[in-house]
């Protein structure tokens, strides 16, 4: 099980009220929510290995160089990602708690969590569940290898299971064609404009006719007499978007071959640092959430003292 950690702690922050605080009154809702989500995922799905995948770089230079609009609307005035004031201080606490608990947290310099997930999913020798609220990761679904998405659109308690058939049913495209579909349609949440005037229906029709983005662009280059789905209007739009179509695949494609160490990800049967975890639990008021996590992991009942 691979977690898109930022997706989950943002969801936890907005899903648990900020009135959930530490003993000295600081919001701790995102950490509490993340730990409770983790406990529920482990209990419900019983993964053999579990990795919280991290954004070491939420807006990698290679993607910005290809498409400067990439996530540009989410850059804070002082630089970095715009994050709610009450969430920012909780992220370092979550990092400390995961380390003390012994839960694997993995990032890669210059890459997003999506790329870490893509690489670990590609390396995996068995089935993989990816937990995320980001549709970009739909491109990783692979029925033959058992890679599916546990999509958090309705929350952890009501996950949407996304495999190739689900992608096909929702978007009308082959199950592993989502990346090309996203390039054509665009995604405003990531600053990805798409091809102006080409919506989901046209994007799906083009993919179904020509197979993938390379096939579409080859057809555009050789088409003299327009015919559906390459009508004269669509041809004009695709020709106008040439520069964008050159750049966008670099932005949308999840990296699957990062040079990074092997990750074990074995679920901890006891905390890695029990004294540190007990201290963190007391300082931040995390006893109940860590008790639930410990119960899910099979820790001794007195592990937090």
DSSP structural state of residue 250: H
Give the pLDDT confidence score for residue 155 in this predicted structure.
75
Give the pLDDT confidence score for residue 305 in this predicted structure.
66
Q: Using one digit for the tens of pLDDT, what is the confidence trace for 230-260?
A: 999 999 999 999 999 999 999 999 999 999 9
Query: Got the DSSP string for 55-66?
Result: -S-SS-HHHHHH
- What's the rounded Cα separation, in Å, for the pair 104 and 50? 7
pLDDT at 25 over 80: yes
Q: Using one digit for the tens of pLDDT, what is the confidence trace for 132-172?
A: 999 999 999 999 999 999 999 877 778 999 999 999 999 99
pLDDT at 277 over 90: yes
Report pTM.
0.96
Q: What percent of the chain has pLDDT over 70?
A: 100
Q: Whole-number mean pLDDT of the chain?
A: 95
CB atoms within 10 A of CB 242: 12
pLDDT at 304 over 80: no
Give the pLDDT confidence score for residue 1 in this predicted structure.
98
Domains of the chain: 2-172+255-297 (3.40.50.1010), 178-252 (1.10.150.20)
Lowest mean pLDDT among 13-27, 104-118, 146-160, 271-285: 146-160
From the number of C-beta atoms within 10 Å of its C-beta (0-12, 13-18, 19+), residue 264 rates as exposed
The mean pLDDT value for 208-231 works out to: 95
Q: Quote the strand ranges of the chain, DSSP E.
A: 2-4, 51-53, 104-106, 128-132, 147-151, 160-162
pLDDT at 94 over 90: yes
The mean pLDDT value for 173-185 works out to: 95
Query: Got the DSSP string for 273-300?
Result: SHHHHHHHHHHHT-HHHHHHHHHHHT--
Nearest Cα to Cα of residue 267 among 68, 55, 101, 37: 101
């Amino acid at each position: 099980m691979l977690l898109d950690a930022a997706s989950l702690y943002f969801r936890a922050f907005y899903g648990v009220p900020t009135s959930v605080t530490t003993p000295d009154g600081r919001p701790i809702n995102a950490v509490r929510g993340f730990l409770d989500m983790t406990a529920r995922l482990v209990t419900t799905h019983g993964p053999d290995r579990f990795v919280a995948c991290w954004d070491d770089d939420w807006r990698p230079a290679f993607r910005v160089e290809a498409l400067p609009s990439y996530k540009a609307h989410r850059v804070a005035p002082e630089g970095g990602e715009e994050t709610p004031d009450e969430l920012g201080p909780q992220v370092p606490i979550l990092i400390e708690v995961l380390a003390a608990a012994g839960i694997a947290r993995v990032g890669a310099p210059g890459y997003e969590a999506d790329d870490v997930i893509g690489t670990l999913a590609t390396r995996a020798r068995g089935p993989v569940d990816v937990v995320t609220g980001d549709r970009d990761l739909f491109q990783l679904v692979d029925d033959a290898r058992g890679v599916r998405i546990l999509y958090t659109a309705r929350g952890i308690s009501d996950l949407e299971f996304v495999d190739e058939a689900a992608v096909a049913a929702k978007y009308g495209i082959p199950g592993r064609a989502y990346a090309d579909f996203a390039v054509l349609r665009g995604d405003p949440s990531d600053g990805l404009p798409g091809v102006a005037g080409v919506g989901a229906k046209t994007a799906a029709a083009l993919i179904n006719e020509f197979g993938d983005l390379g096939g579409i662009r080859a057809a555009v280059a050789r088409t003299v007499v327009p015919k559906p789905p390459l009508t004269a209007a669509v041809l004009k739009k695709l020709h106008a978007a040439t520069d964008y179509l050159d750049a966008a695949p670099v932005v949308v494609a999840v990296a699957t071959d990062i040079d990074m160490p092997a990750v074990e990800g074995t679920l901890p049967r006891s905390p890695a640092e029990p004294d540190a975890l007990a201290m963190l639990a007391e300082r931040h008021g995390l006893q109940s959430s860590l008790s639930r996590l410990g119960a899910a992991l099979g820790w001794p009942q007195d592990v937090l003292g």
